[in-house]
Chain A
Amino acid sequence: MRPAWADLAQRLFFLLVVRPFLTLFIGLRVRGREHLPENGPFVLVANHASHLDTLSLLALFPLSRLRHVRPVAAADYFERTRLTALVSRTFFNILPIRRRREDRQAGEDPLEPLLEALAAGQALILFPEGTRRSGADDVGEFKGGIAHLVERRPGLTVVPCWLANMGRTLPKGELVPVPFICRVSLGAPLQPSGGRAEVLATLEQAVRALRDCDPRDQD
C-alpha cells in the first residue's frame, strides 16, 4: 500500500514543478482531452521517445487522480539504484515490471502486477514500443505485452495517444531540454479484440492515425 506522504509528495511535485514546467517552458498542448475516461480501469498507450512522455501523460490527470495512475516501468532501469527507485515510486507512482527473464523467479507472471492494478480500478500508462526510440518521429513496432494484457482481460479499454516533439526536446542521453512546443493527441477509447497480432495492429494503427492528422501549426 502506498503511504499517504508519497501521494502528497507527488501532488505537490506535479502542482509546483511539473505543471509550471510543462506550461511555461515546454508549452505543452493537448488535443482530444475529452477522450480521457473519467475513471479506470484503462490503459493509455503511446509512442515513446523521451522521459517527458510519462511526465506529460501523468499531467493530463487531475492531481486527485494521480494516485490511481500507474506508469508501467522497467524495474531493471528505474529501480537500478535505491535512489532512482525511491524517486520513481514517490513522484511518478510507477508500476515496476520485470521485463527480463533472468530477473524473474521461476513461474512468475510478469503481467500479474498490471492485472492486479487494473482489477483495483487503476489506469496504466504503457509504451508498447518497449523503450525510448531516439530521433523517431513515427510509431515503432509494438511489443506483445499489451496484446497479452487484452487477452487476459477481454474488453479492456485502451486509449491511443500520439506524443509529438518530446524526443526532440529531451532525447535519450541528453540532460538539458530544448523547449520545442510539444503536443499530446488522445484518440477515442478502443476495446480491441481478436488475436494478438490483430490487437497490436489495431493499436499501432490508432496511434499512427493520430500522428497523421496532427497539424503542425496547431502548436
Chain B
Amino acid sequence: MLQAFLDLAPAPRFAVVAFALLTLASLAVALLGWWKPQAASPELRARTSSWWLMATLLFLAIYVHETASLVFFAFLSFWALKEYVTLLDTRAADHGALVLAFLAIPVQYLWIARNDYGLFTIFIPVYIFLMLPVRLVLARETAGFVASASQIQWGLMAFVFGLSHLRYVAAFPPAAGSPADGRTLLLFLVFVVEISDVFQYVWGKALGRHKVIPSVSPNKTWEGLIGGVASAMLLSLALRFLTPFSVAETLLVSFIVCLAGFFGGAVMSAVKRDFGVKDFGALIPGHGGMLDRLDSLCYAAPLFFHYVRYFHYYGFGVW
C-alpha cells in the first residue's frame, strides 16, 4: 500500500496527504467535542468544515480547466479587493478610480494567461498607479485626494498585484529532473502557508504567553509563531515531492514563506484594527471574510514566485 502511494503522481499523492490531514482534523475536533464540549465551539466546527470545502475548491480550480482556474483566482482577487474597499471611507469622487481599480483585475490575469511576465510585473505598479491619480483628478475634487489615491493603490498592490503571483506560480513549466511543475508548486505554497497559520493558532492557543505585537494583534504570540513556523517547516519536508527543492532548500523556502505569511497576517490585522472591525467579512463560515484566509498569501506568494523563478527558471523561455 505504501508502494502504491509512493507510485502516485505528485498531485494525487498530495491529495491523499491533504485529505488524510483534514480527516485527522475533523476527528480531533469530534474527539475534543466529546472530551471537552465547551472547547469545541460551533465556530471551530464550522472552521474545520470550511477547510474541507476550500481544499476541494482549490484542487478543482487548479486541475479541472486552465481558463476556469484563471477565472477562479481572478475572482479571489476581486473578492479580496471588494472586502477591502467596502471598509474604506470612500468619497463620491472616487467612483471612477474604483471602477478602474476593479477593471485592472481581469487585465492582470490576462497577462498570466498570455504568459507575459513583463507586463504582468509592470502593468499595475506602472500603468495603473499612474492612471489612478489621473482618474481622480478628472473627478475634480482635491479634498482627500492623496488619501484616496494611496488607499486605492495600496489595495491594488496587496490584493490584486500580490495575490496574482499565486496563480502565476501555477504557470511554471515542469522543472528539470523532477516530477514537479507550477501546479504542484502552487499546492506546496498554499499548503505550507496555511498549515503554518493553523499551527500558529494551535500552538498559540496551547502555549501562547508572550505577545509579538500586542497593539496590533493579541492572538499573535512568540510561542505560536515559533511553534507554527517550525511545524510547517517539518511538514513541508514530507511534501518535497511537489517541488524541485533539496532538503535544505525546502526548509529555507518554507521558512521564508511562513515568515512572509506571518507579516502578511500582521499587516491585515493592522488594517482591521484601523477600520475597527474583527473580520473582513462573513463569507467563509468560521473564518470570516475571504481576506481573513488570504492575508498571509498576499505576502507569501510574490516572495515564493520570485524565489522559484530566480533559482529554478531563470533564463528559461520567457522567464
Contacts and interface: CB of A to CB of B under 8 A. Distances in A.
Nearest to A164: B86
A180 B99 CA distance: 11
Q: Is the interface of A mostly helix, strand, loop or mixed?
A: loop
B275 A216 contact: yes
Contacts of B115: none
Given A27-B82, A168-B90, A178 B281 contact: no
A219 interface: yes
Nearest to A26: B82
Given A171-B92, A218-B282, A179 B82 contact: yes
Nearest to B92: A135
A217 B279 contact: yes
B86 to A, nearest CB: 4
A166 B281 CA distance: 17
B187 to A, nearest CB: 26
Contacts of A219: 83, 86-87, 280-282, 289
B251 to A, nearest CB: 37
A172 B208 CA distance: 51
A165 B278 CA distance: 19
Interface string A170-184: 010010101111000
A174 B281 CA distance: 26
Contact of B282 (A29, A174, A178, A180): A29
Contacts of B31: none
B278 A217 contact: yes
A27, A165, A180, A219 pick with most chain B CB within 10 angstroms: A219
Interface string B250-281: 00000000000000000000001001111111
B95 A178 contact: yes
Query: Which of A29, A165, A216 counts the most B-chain CB atoms under 10 A from its CB?
Result: A216
Given A216-B277, A217-B280, A181 B83 contact: yes
B283 to A, nearest CB: 8
A179 B105 CA distance: 13
Interface residues of A, number: 17
Contacts of A131: none
B245 interface: no
Given A27-B82, A168-B90, A179 B102 contact: yes
A216 B82 contact: no
Contact of A134 (B90, B92, B275): B92
B247 interface: no
Nearest to B81: A179
A217 B281 contact: yes
A48 B92 CA distance: 16
Contact of A180 (B85, B275, B283, B289): B85
Nearest to B282: A218
B98 interface: yes
Contacts of A216: 87, 275-277
B56 to A, nearest CB: 19
Interface string B98-126: 11001000000000000000000000000
A13 to B, nearest CB: 23
A176 B86 CA distance: 16
Interface in A205-219: 216-219
Contacts of B283: 27
Contacts of A178: 85, 95, 98-99, 102
A165 B87 CA distance: 10
B79 interface: yes
A217 B292 CA distance: 12
A179 B155 CA distance: 14
B102 to A, nearest CB: 7
A135 B99 CA distance: 17
Given A178-B99, A181-B86, A217-B272, 18 more contacts: A27-B281, A29-B282, A134-B92, A165-B86, A168-B90, A171-B92, A178-B98, A179-B82, A180-B86, A181-B281, A216-B87, A216-B277, A217-B278, A217-B282, A217-B288, A218-B281, A219-B87, A219-B289
Interface of B: 78-79, 82-83, 85-87, 90, 92, 95, 98-99, 102, 272, 275-283, 288-289
22 contacts: A27-B82, A27-B281, A27-B283, A171-B92, A171-B95, A174-B95, A178-B95, A179-B78, A179-B102, A181-B82, A181-B281, A216-B87, A216-B275, A217-B272, A217-B277, A217-B280, A217-B281, A217-B282, A218-B282, A219-B280, A219-B281, A219-B282
Interface of A: 27, 29, 134-135, 165, 168, 171, 174, 176, 178-181, 216-219
Q: When A and B form their complex, which 3 residue pairs have the shortest distance between CB atoms, in order from nearest? A: A217-B277, A178-B98, A219-B281
